[in-house]
Amino acid sequence: MKPTLDYSLYLVTGRDLLPPGKDYFESLEESILGGVTVVQIREKSADTGEFLTIARQSKAICQKHGVPIIINDRIDIALAIGADGVHLGQTDMPISIARSLLPADTIIGLSVNTPEQVRKAAEDGVDYVGVGPVWGTKTKNVTSPLLGPRGVAKMLEGLEGTDVKSVAIAGIKSTNTLHCLHGSVTKNGRALDGVAVVSDIVGSTNPRAAARKIADTVKMFKAYEPPAAHKYTVTSPWWENPHTVDMLKELAGSVFESVQIFSPLVHQITNTVVTNQSANATIALGASPIMATSTEEMEDLGKVIGGLLVNFGTIKDLDCMLAAGKQANLNRNPIVFDPVGVGATAYRRAAADELLSTWQASVIKGNAGELAALANSTEVKSRGVDSVGAGFSDPARFIRDLARAERCVIVLTGKIDYVSDGHTVVALSNGHPYLAGITGSGCMVGTSVATFCAGVSMSAKSNSGAENGRLTRGDMFLAAIGGVLAVTIASEFAGVRADVKGTGTFLPALIDELGKLAPETLRDHAKIEIVHVS
């Protein structure tokens, strides 16, 4: 009978990475005590005799702690020590031959990097796949394309309907494990069974602590499971809070209260066209903007901000956007991504892809053309930063599916704004026509959404004693709704003021009205409809 393995924290050994003076076997045992659940002995340069000795002694340690041992590449060594399994690469022994050589209850794992390899692995009956490389690594010279968590999720689609387990590998550390796990979930909720790690544990002087951090993160992620088949996004615990229109209005007002109570620091990396008006809009809403763009300060800022806006309208500071987002994920701060004009150039599309593979957004906001480009859909075209044409034939379905794919809340701006967390879709129909006549009104919505996300995050941080396995604290779906409503409702007040004669006088009036807005006004004036997607 095949053993059932817990793949949560899969250690792959690497003796060359041990810190000076650290004994290999001591390090292995400490890692196991820290929470490693599977060990793979990987020896790329040891001769057979040395590999055998190491494998034997490693097995004794693993056995003492009830942890299964897997041998990399070498079926003869696995047979010689009676290992629990072998791990093979694409150019190693074919699975069928390995299977015929090994006892029937031996676990066989295979490295995969493409959907075709995943499909073949499942067909060949492997027990698990090592999916990677997720990110870059110095541990091995990897030549296959980096997948990022979104790429890993695409690989996992090939495992749906099978019981083949999966671990992700390459570049995984305690600092990015939560992002890796959350980002690597299919639209139907298939998640990784664990993460495979080398350097972050083996290279540590305290492997027990290093392993503990990762093991705890995996445990927390697995414990915070939404009901089966409802694992849509990482940012909206809708299953805890079913929505009705009245409830949404009430809660959107409460989110605004959080902004005003906590006055969060909202870090904005935005474009040169709107920097000033975005900062003023943030202040008007009761929060505090910081428009910092030096990579060197991202680590410090990540510890103090309530939320981050990444708007790449004039697409500079890409390194800073990458660094800020990593820090935001690390500190579990929400990230609002506004991929302005992403459909306009190949450079922008590649930049958006790099950003979304490096960190996990909480909310992505865009017009129809931008979101179509992000989803590789040709249904809506853009011209520069504007969307052209009539929009999506079924906007609600489109954004629901995009929210599931990107594992975040999606805001689609337009005459009617749509917000979805991958489960519920709402249509928001507030707004004044002057909004379309000023530059950066969409960017202001992004700023407002980021401000509301920061508000709910700060509020949840202060409320919740126990940490959960979500990547951000607070309900980002409600925050996104609140953020859109703030700008669109304020625009309705501004647009009808006697001193507003056109778009020139409208902009300062809009800032005035944002400043006068109260949570109760948001509740009273919100035009929300829950749209059902069949």
User: Interaction with ligand LCLJCK34 in 2-41: which residues (CB under 6 A)?
Assistant: 10, 12, 40
Structure tokens at 8: 């949560």
Q: Minimum CB separation from ligand LCLJCK34 for residue 207, in Å? A: 18
Distance of CA 349 to the CA centre of its chain: 18
Strands (DSSP E) contained in 170-275 are: 194-197, 265-269
| Exposure of 435 in the CB half-sphere (CA atoms within 13 A) | 27
Q: Minimum CB separation from ligand TZP for residue 140, in Å? A: 4
Radius of gyration of the chain (CA): 25
Cα separations (Å) of 119 from 55, 89, 90, 156, 159? 31, 15, 13, 10, 7
Residue 89 interacts with which of ligand LCLJCK34, ligand TZP, none, CB < 5 to 8 Å by class:
ligand LCLJCK34
What is the residue whose two structure tokens read 């544990």?
201
Q: Map residue 502 onto helix, strand or coil.
A: coil
Residue 40 interacts with which of ligand TZP, ligand LCLJCK34, none, CB < 5 to 8 Å by class:
ligand LCLJCK34
Residue 87 interacts with which of ligand TZP, ligand LCLJCK34, none, CB < 5 to 8 Å by class:
ligand LCLJCK34
User: Interaction with ligand TZP in 175-204: which residues (CB under 6 A)?
Assistant: 197-199
What is the residue whose two structure tokens read 């909480």?
362
Structure tokens at 415: 């005459």
Q: Which of 108, 126, 156, 196 binds ligand LCLJCK34 (CB under 6 A)?
A: 196
Strands 194-197 and 381-383, sheet pairing:
unpaired
DSSP letters spanning 380-394? SEEETTEEESS--SS
Active-site residue flag, 443: yes
User: What are residue 417's DSSP bridge partners?
Assistant: 428
171 contributes a contact to ligand TZP by CB under 6 A: yes
Report how many helices (DSSP H) and strands (DSSP E) the chain contains, helices first. 20, 19
Nearer to ligand LCLJCK34, 136 or 502 (CB): 136
| Residue whose C-beta lies closest to ligand LCLJCK34 | 130
String of contacts with ligand TZP for each residue 125-164, x by CB under 6 A: -------xx---x-xx-x----------------------
Q: Minimum CB separation from ligand TZP for residue 111, in Å? A: 7
What is the residue whose two structure tokens read 């790429």?
151
From the list 84-92, 280-288, 392-400, 405-413, the region that binds ligand LCLJCK34 by CB under 6 A is 84-92
Nearer to ligand LCLJCK34, 211 or 344 (CB): 211
Provide the 8-state DSSP code for 146. Answer: P
Q: How many of the other CB atoms lie within 10 Å of CB of 468?
A: 14
Q: Minimum CB separation from ligand LCLJCK34 for residue 110, in Å? A: 8
Contacts with ligand TZP by CB under 6 A lie at: 12, 132-133, 137, 139-140, 142, 169-172, 197-199
- Just list the catalytic residues: 443
